[in-house]
A and B are shown apart, each in its own frame.
Chain A
């Protein structure tokens, strides 16, 4: 027994044949009882993560990162926090707890780094958030190598092209995947039938994104250029539609609101995605703190590329380029940052 365990440790990975990918995912679903989430091609052309089923298994999409990230499985767009049951003269507070074991397959390096950034905030910043922790603790991740970056990708600039924070990671090989082990929990994903011993090793992380951003000292440079004229000029085009924050795998802001349950005295408290691009986001009794589009666009870019880094040592941007792709007027945070670097207040 001991010998065998050691053999496993020496062999830091396994090989999974391409033709066994779907059977393996179905094994996780049917034999291990996981809810398996995979990237799928929608009929409308967008790709997003959904639960694997017999009907959709042919639509698994692995050519590039999904258009929509897997954020909604950790931070759903709308989620119940509490049920308040009226028990006259008082109340009973019920907390929402869900913990169906999940596996997300097909997360790219950027997606994994995005989860790490969210973990920093929701698991370890002035206490944790139990709704997020619930979902995160019951979810295993299987990453997938990106060998062809998209035209808006810049993960190698953001330091997120090297995969990390996964349970398993699949590196693309001829006819299959080299399976790298990333956590102590990987054994829950092990399958003797499909995982073969191998002498293969992992590939080099991808370093050939077309889009580049110099991130050295970027948070300080942006901080010093808070009053740069580019904020106003770019904001002139901005529609405050919040597509950028919705599509972003790390944008997390939310509102909390109560609703009465019809025909009862009970009520529920919901959490819902919000966006710094909307005026109401900072509205108080005396006015709106970020009333101009300029200040709101600046908040988005600064939170991504400056503020979060100052607080948590990583950027809140993982270089996936989704916001650039989703923006109807083609505003790009990379372009804004580069313009500022090229032409900072007070000159270079």
Chain B
């Protein structure tokens, strides 16, 4: 009778490593207990997982590791509420539930031979890191690369080691800006959106990938458009409350779109048609 698997059913996964990224944010390297599941697992950057802590609940979370990393995946967690804080209290060896990947990621195939601007703020760097890994692994297929990232303070900077490596790469221009610099901070300061227009960007044949707080993305989209980018050159990842991740519970609904299945990544053209404010 029961010949089907529920898309809501969590698979078991083990925490292999925990890395403290900032005073509060941690990155967890996890692997499915079921070897076959781990082997078959593949995803496009921008897609997300539903992570379960049994008895506490489930939360949507981006995959921050490279799609070419096959033996495990990484989740980067900001402890803002019950479940995220509970996850951050877990140690190596703990077992969590995972299901996914869900949603629509960045259409990276479409960006071949084009220039790419990665634009992220705060925790949005989690899914952006995965996209950067996917592109830099096959750098010869793409044009010029740019990364803009903003965070509150130098101590809140995520993936500092990865960023340091990217800075050294050829054809990759990296700009990090902090809202409030510390005395030892040598990089840019102020909102990361202030850098748009100050840095010379190619507009033709360029795509912009965005992930971060809604307020930051709203400003960024307006500024990029102001500098001549067309909406179809912009891609941005939306955040909404999600309970199911599979288009059923209704929480992530905006107009006829469900962010969990039609997004979270939407093109600028799609965003223009959506009721983003109070919609």
CB distance from B48 to the nearest CB of A (A): 14
Bitwise interface map of A from 88 to 128 toward B, beta carbon under 8 Å scored 1, else 0: 01110101010100000000000000000000011001111
Bitwise interface map of A from 203 to 243 toward B, beta carbon under 8 Å scored 1, else 0: 00000000000000000000100100000000000000000
CB of A285 closer than 8 Å to a CB of B: yes
Chain A: residues with Cβ within 8 Å of the partner, total of 57
CB of A253 closer than 8 Å to a CB of B: yes
Contact A307 B253 (CB under 8 A): yes
CB of B268 closer than 8 Å to a CB of A: no
CB of B159 closer than 8 Å to a CB of A: no
B residues 1-54 near A (Cβ < 8 Å) are 1-2, 4-10, 12, 33, 52-54
Given the known A-B contacts A127-B246, A256-B244, A286-B213, are A307 and B251 also in contact in the complex, defined by CB atoms under 8 Å?
no
Contact B278 A125 (CB under 8 A): no
CA distance A307 to B253 in the complex (A): 10
Number of A-B contacts defined by CB within 8 Å: 134
Residues of B in contact with A, size category: 35 or more
Contact B213 A282 (CB under 8 A): no
- For A252, give its contact among B58, B250, B256 (CB under 8 Å): B250
Interface of B (DSSP majority class): loop
Q: Chain B residues with Cβ under 8 A from A99's Cβ?
A: 1
CB of B239 closer than 8 Å to a CB of A: yes
CB distance from B278 to the nearest CB of A (A): 4
Contact B12 A295 (CB under 8 A): no
CA distance A274 to B248 in the complex (A): 12
CB of B56 closer than 8 Å to a CB of A: yes
Q: Chain A residues with Cβ under 8 A from B9's Cβ?
A: 82, 93, 95
CA distance A290 to B252 in the complex (A): 11
Bitwise interface map of B from 130 to 147 toward A, beta carbon under 8 Å scored 1, else 0: 000000000000000000
CA distance A285 to B251 in the complex (A): 14
CB of A343 closer than 8 Å to a CB of B: no
Contact A274 B249 (CB under 8 A): yes
Contact B250 A276 (CB under 8 A): yes
CB of A325 closer than 8 Å to a CB of B: no
Of all chain B residues, which has the CB nearest A87? B95
CA distance A260 to B243 in the complex (A): 18
Q: Chain A residues with Cβ under 8 A from B8's Cβ?
A: 81-82, 129-130, 256
Of all chain B residues, which has the CB nearest A292? B278
Contact A274 B251 (CB under 8 A): yes
Contact A303 B58 (CB under 8 A): no
Residues of B within 8 A of A (CB): 1-2, 4-10, 12, 33, 52-58, 80-81, 93, 95, 97, 213-214, 239-241, 243-244, 246-251, 253, 255-256, 261, 275, 278-279
Residues of A within 8 A of B (CB): 81-82, 84, 86, 89-91, 93, 95, 97, 99, 121-122, 125-131, 133-134, 223, 226, 252-260, 267, 269, 274, 276, 281-286, 289-292, 294-295, 299, 302-303, 306-308, 310-311
